[in-house]
A = this chain, B = another copy of it.
Amino acid sequence: MPGDADIAAVGALLGDERRCRILLALDDGRALPASRLAAEAGVSAATASSHLGKLREGGLVTVETHGRHRFYRLAGPHVGRLLEAMVALAPPRPVTSLREGTRARALRRARTCYDHLAGELGVGIMRHLVDAGLLTGGDGHRDPADPPVGFGQDVDYRFTADGDTWLDDFGVRLAPGRRTIRYCVDWTEQAHHLSGAAGAGILARLVELDWVRRAPKDRAVTVTDAGQEGLARTFGV
């Protein structure tokens, strides 16, 4: 039984409270520097570095180096699912922990990324636009060297004629010259979501329709009842 050893290895990673704190701090999809995670776990930089090394080796987190900072992220949606499954099993559920849990889940579902939508919702909308033939392209790649955390980048996505029509019909107001498409790699979903002027325009229109509402102080996005229905009908999400 060679495969069994590995699942225990994953379990061992999750058996330490400090490591769990680190993972939970990353659970909403952010990328955080090692120092912040050390503070979050309440542990020295040396210890945190050791934990992060193990989490990385175990495939639970990934690193990006920017200057003298190293940003850590959850390695993918599987990790979020795993954390969710574990939280569901942790027997005592103090209120605060519950709120944190649902909040992280909500952020994974929908959040803002600067001026546009990210999370399952952002990715789902972009996927729908591509599937519906409103948006084409997407063979571009992300330059691993320069870009700061979670930022967008030029790629060869573009709206089709149908896409232009759809934008007008849906009520997204974009100056003709500003229809350049940008996207972000959405790390909680490991897929693309729209950014740039189009992403901002769509988010603005969704807010105008009162389908979604932005939290005043953070990146949370809530979907209204009307939004549930409208988003499902329009984008299948």
Contact = CB atoms under 8 A, between A and B. Distances in A.
Interface of A: 1-17, 19-21, 24, 58-60, 78-79, 81-94, 96-98, 100-101
Chain multiplicity (copies): 2
B16 A59 contact: no
A97 B15 contact: no
A83 B88 CA distance: 13
A8 B3 contact: no
A5 to B, nearest CB: 6
Contacts of A12: 11, 14-16
Given A11-B16, A12-B15, A14-B10, A89 B97 contact: no
13 contacts: A1-B96, A2-B96, A3-B92, A4-B17, A4-B97, A6-B90, A7-B20, A7-B86, A7-B90, A10-B14, A11-B19, A11-B20, A11-B86
